[in-house]
């Protein structure tokens, strides 16, 4: 696991292998993996979770007080996944930093004897200034003026107090709220990576709080239930909304009106949330409420759908290429592709796979045919239906490939493919 920027492209490297020689030389045959390592050029700290697990942590991403021993680490595979990890930290009264990486966002939770002391985030919506604006304690214009004046010389809270725009009590309350929001964002991560660094050093933080971790976990459980409820109609922040009415309802709150005004049929819920400075959870909640009240409708424009489909097809083709790499005989691969085409034809006839999807001579999905075929899918949640149908397809490819492989290779390939499938599903 690498504790730096983790993008969907980087995650497709999982399952690939490198070889470390007895003399310490690292080699790999996969060109994509070579390019991946080239992108990671720099100085790294080597940590270990055990004799068979290594973690590389980039020095540029480290903060003061984060150089202790790594006790836990792993991949996030669903909302609430990290809750058990945090529960262990709280119950064991550990002191240290839990780092959580989701996409290009890096969040840190600072614990002291199991109590949450502070949190940090690289997400713009979770910065203290954005929290103050959302809570109507400072205007957007005032915040931007303060940011221009202070730069890195003074903290935003201190500057606002000095200007008389906020009180010390206001800032303290908002820091507490900011920490809670970052905590909930970590809990609600549906994919990514995490690791916990144990340290007893005094951390160079702007302030220390003492927040009951157990109480936050209970509140987080409620949010997970709410998210599950929202997802019955809105699968995720990648969904696009379009405003149905030209006029705004009377007495609508400014933030809600701003959100509604940005529902132009082109932007995703996540993008609108980013523009309005709210968290993914609040964006999902607001989108659900607007949908329930009939102010918006779910759409999927051709431009956005092709972008989404490109990512989906890339993931599934990576799995197919991994399976193909185990077939050393060209004739076996040719036979497998013939079997795959027969399966697709039957699955399309049975309505299990969208009509129009084709594969190339290597069994890989043709991106353009998948993009065109999505129009044949009925219902609102087209992307989810597509992912499910393509998942069935790659499992069939895995099943069929086993006829050409020895038992040991079958077992190894099965573990790798199942791991890759879980990443696509998340």
Give every CB contact of residue 206 below 8 A, 6+ residues apart in sequence. 118, 155
3-state secondary structure of 352: coil
Q: What pTM was estimated for this model as a whole? A: 0.60
pLDDT of 109 above 90: yes
Q: What is the pLDDT confidence band of residue 10, given thresholds at 50, 70 and 90?
A: very low
Give, as one character, the DSSP assignment of residue 203: P
Give the dihedral sign, CA 405/411/416/421.
positive
* Domain spans, the chain: 1-62, 63-229, 240-299, 302-425
Residues 293-306, mean pLDDT to the nearest whole number: 71
Q: In the predicted model, what is the mean pLDDT of the chain?
A: 81
Which one is predicted more confidently, 86 or 22?
86
- The confidence score (pLDDT) of residue 86 equals 93
Q: Which residue has the higher pLDDT, 54 or 51?
A: 54
Q: Provide the 8-state DSSP code for 2.
A: B
Give the model's confidence band at 248: pLDDT under 50 very low, under 70 low, under 90 confident, else very high.
Answer: confident
User: pLDDT by residue (tens digit) across 380-395?
Assistant: 566 777 788 888 889 9
Residue that the structure tokens 């949190």 belong to:
119
Question: What's the first-to-final CA gap in the chain, in angstroms?
Answer: 18
Tokens representing 142?
A: 């005032």
pLDDT over threshold 60, residue 369 = yes
Strand runs (DSSP E) across 35-133, as ranges?
44-50, 53-58, 69-76, 96-102, 105-112, 115-121
């Amino acid at each position: 696991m690498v504790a730096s920027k983790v993008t969907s492209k980087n995650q497709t490297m999982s399952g690939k292998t490198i070889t470390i020689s007895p003399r310490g030389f690292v080699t790999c045959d996969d060109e994509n993996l070579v390019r991946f390592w080239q992108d990671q050029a720099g100085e790294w700290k080597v940590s270990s979770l055990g004799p068979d697990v290594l973690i590389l942590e980039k020095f540029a991403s480290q903060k003061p007080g984060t150089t202790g021993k790594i006790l836990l680490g792993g991949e996030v595979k669903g909302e609430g996944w990290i809750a058990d990890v945090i529960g262990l930290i709280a119950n064991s009264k550990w002191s240290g930093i839990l780092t959580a990486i989701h996409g290009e966002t890096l969040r840190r939770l600072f614990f002291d004897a199991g109590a949450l002391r502070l949190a940090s985030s690289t997400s713009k919506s979770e910065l203290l200034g954005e929290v103050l604006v959302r809570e109507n304690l400072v205007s957007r214009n005032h915040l931007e003026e303060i940011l221009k004046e202070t730069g890195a010389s003074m903290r935003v809270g201190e500057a606002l107090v000095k200007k008389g725009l906020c009180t010390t009590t206001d800032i303290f309350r908002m820091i507490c709220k900011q920490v809670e929001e970052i905590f909930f964002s970590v809990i609600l991560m549906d994919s990514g990576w995490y690791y916990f660094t144990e340290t007893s050093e005094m951390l160079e933080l702007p302030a220390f709080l003492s927040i009951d971790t157990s109480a936050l976990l209970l509140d987080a459980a409620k949010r997970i239930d709410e998210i599950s409820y929202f997802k019955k109609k809105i699968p995720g922040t990648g969904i696009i909304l379009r405003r149905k009415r030209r006029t705004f309802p009377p007495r609508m709150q400014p933030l809600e009106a701003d959100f509604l005004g940005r529902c132009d049929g082109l932007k995703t819920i996540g993008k609108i949330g980013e523009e309005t400075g709210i968290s993914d959870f609040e964006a999902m909640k607001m989108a659900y409420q607007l949908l329930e009240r009939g102010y918006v409708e779910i759409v999927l424009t051709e431009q956005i759908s092709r972008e989404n489909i490109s990512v989906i097809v890339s993931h599934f083709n990576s799995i197919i290429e991994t399976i193909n790499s185990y077939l050393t005989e060209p004739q076996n691969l040719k036979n497998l592709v013939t079997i795959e085409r027969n399966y697709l034809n039957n699955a399309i006839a049975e309505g299990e796979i969208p009509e129009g999807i084709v594969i190339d001579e290597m069994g890989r999905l043709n991106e353009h045919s998948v993009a065109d075929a999505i129009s044949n899918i009925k219902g609102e949640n087209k992307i989810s239906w597509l992912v499910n149908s393509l998942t069935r397809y790659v499992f069939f490819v895995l099943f069929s490939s086993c006829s050409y492989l020895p038992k040991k290779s079958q077992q190894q390939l099965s573990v790798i493919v199942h791991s890759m499938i879980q990443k696509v599903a998340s």
